[in-house]
Structure 1
Amino acid sequence: MIRTDELKGVIAKNGYSQSDVAGMIGVTPKTFYEKMKIGVFGSDEIQIMIEKLHINDPISIFFAKE
Structure 2
Amino acid sequence: MILINELKGKIRAKGYTQEKLARELGMSPKTLCNKLSKGIFGSDEIEKMIKLLDIKNPIDIFFNE
Runs of 4+ in 1 over 6 A off after TM superposition: none
Aligned to 1:18: 18
Question: Deviations 1:9-31 (Å, cap 9, x if unpaired)?
Answer: 00000011011111111110000
Determine the structure 1 residue equivalent to 2:37: 37
TM-score normalised over the length of structure 1: 0.95
- 1:3 correspondence with 2:6: no
TM-score of the two chains, using structure 2 as the length reference: 0.96
What is the match of residue 55 of structure 1?
A: 55
Unaligned runs of 5+ in 1: none
Residue matched to 1:46: 46
Number of aligned positions between the proteins: 65
* Unaligned residue ranges in structure 2 (runs of 5+): none
% identical aligned pairs: 49
Q: For each residue in 1:6-60, what CA deviation from the matched residue of structure 2 results, as whole angstroms up to 9, or x when unmatched?
A: 0000000001101111111111000000000000000000000000110000001
Aligned alpha-carbon RMSD (Å): 0.6
